[in-house]
Amino acid sequence: MFRHWHRLREKRLLERHRIDEALWRHTLRDLPLLRDLSAAEDERLRHLTTLFLARKRFEPVLGLQLDQPMRLLIAVQACLPILNLDGEWDRDWRTVIVYPGEFIRPRSEVDAAGVMHEWSEVLSGESWDRGPLVLSWADVEASGHGEGYNVVIHEMAHKLDALNGETDGLPPLHPDMRVSDWTRVFRAAFEKLVSAVERDQPQPLDPYAAESPAEFFAVISEAFFETPGLVKAFYPPVYSLLVEFYRQDPATRLASRT
Ligand SMILES: [Zn+2]
């Protein structure tokens, strides 16, 4: 009974929030990130994106006007990482706050000596635990071009990471995956990156990934979808685990279409 009611409700939501065909095609064509999807993936992504638009509340701030194409651009990129993750991967939060550009967050910390330190951070995105996803529109526009940068996927990766408690670079794994494999492979890759950044050696990730294991997971998730060939070449074992986790293989997808 509940199941039936749930389906009916979902069907009504999908009908009410149906994405215009021309707008959908246009959005996909404009984002290199989404050009290589199969017909089945295209259909599933559209379904998830429609549900995302129906269920999330968008809150533009500081005078930003957020029209339907802009909402769609955010929603479709938020749904790409969860394309093949069945279940309730984005259900524990509801609001998407969008700033026109980077935004400032005051920070403070009391050190071991009891002295209060205050500073502020300039952010392009932020993910609150079970709370809003916060994005800079200027950074959304800079995302999805196959250049390695994607603020929406970055913040979605933090959301997935936080589902099992700590935001620590270890998201809830599927039953056929082992936490010990993940921890070993990611720790080694993180250390390799930190040492490359310290020595100014070329590497394919935004150096921000060296901040912490959580940022490493978020940044390498962006690169996994944006520049998968580079991640596969530089971090092959991490690439394999990300394929298992996201249940997608963007490098193969890209190669099979070009
Ligand atoms: Zn981050």
The answer for residues whose C-beta is within 8 angstroms of residue 2's C-beta and 6 or more apart is: none
pLDDT, position 257: 58
Give the Å distance between the CA of 197 and the centre of ligand 1. 17
CATH assignment of the domain containing 208: 3.40.390.10
Q: For the chain, how big is the Rg over CA atoms in Å? A: 19
Give the Å distance between the CA of 125 and the centre of ligand 1. 7
Asked if 82 and 121 count as a contact pair (C-beta separation under 8 A), the reply is no
pLDDT, position 141: 96
Give the Å distance between the CA of 54 and the centre of ligand 1. 26
pLDDT, position 3: 67
Give the Å distance between the CA of 158 and the centre of ligand 1. 7
The answer as to whether 226 is a domain residue is yes
Give the Å distance between the CA of 257 and the centre of ligand 1. 31
Alpha carbon 258 to its chain centroid, in Å, reads 25
Give the Å distance between the CA of 157 and the centre of ligand 1. 8
The answer as to whether 249 is a domain residue is yes
pLDDT, position 203: 86
Task: Find the helix or strand (DSSP H, E) in which 55 lies.
Answer: helix 39-55
Give the Å distance between the CA of 167 and the centre of ligand 1. 10
Domain boundaries, position 203: 164-258
- Mean pLDDT, 10 residues at a time, over the chain (258 residues)? 73 86 94 90 95 95 96 97 86 93 92 92 91 96 94 97 93 96 98 94 91 97 96 97 97 77
The answer as to whether 16 is a domain residue is no
Asked if 99 and 136 count as a contact pair (C-beta separation under 8 A), the reply is yes
Give the Å distance between the CA of 2 and the centre of ligand 1. 38
Q: What DSSP string runs through 137-161? A: HHHHHTSSSSSS--HHHHHHHHHHH
Q: What DSSP string runs through 108-138? A: EEE-TTS-EEEEEEEESEEE-TTS-EEEEHH
Looking at the DSSP bridge assignments, the partners of residue 20 are: none
The total of structural domains in the chain comes to 1
The answer as to whether 59 is a domain residue is no
The answer as to whether 39 is a domain residue is no
Alpha carbon 40 to its chain centroid, in Å, reads 21
pLDDT, position 92: 85
Largest CA distance in the chain: 61
The answer as to whether 215 is a domain residue is yes
The answer as to whether 256 is a domain residue is yes
pLDDT, position 74: 97
The answer as to whether 52 is a domain residue is no
Q: What DSSP string runs through 157-204? A: HHHHHHTTSS-SS-PPPPTTS-HHHHHHHHHHHHHHHHHHHHTT---S
Asked if 17 and 55 count as a contact pair (C-beta separation under 8 A), the reply is no
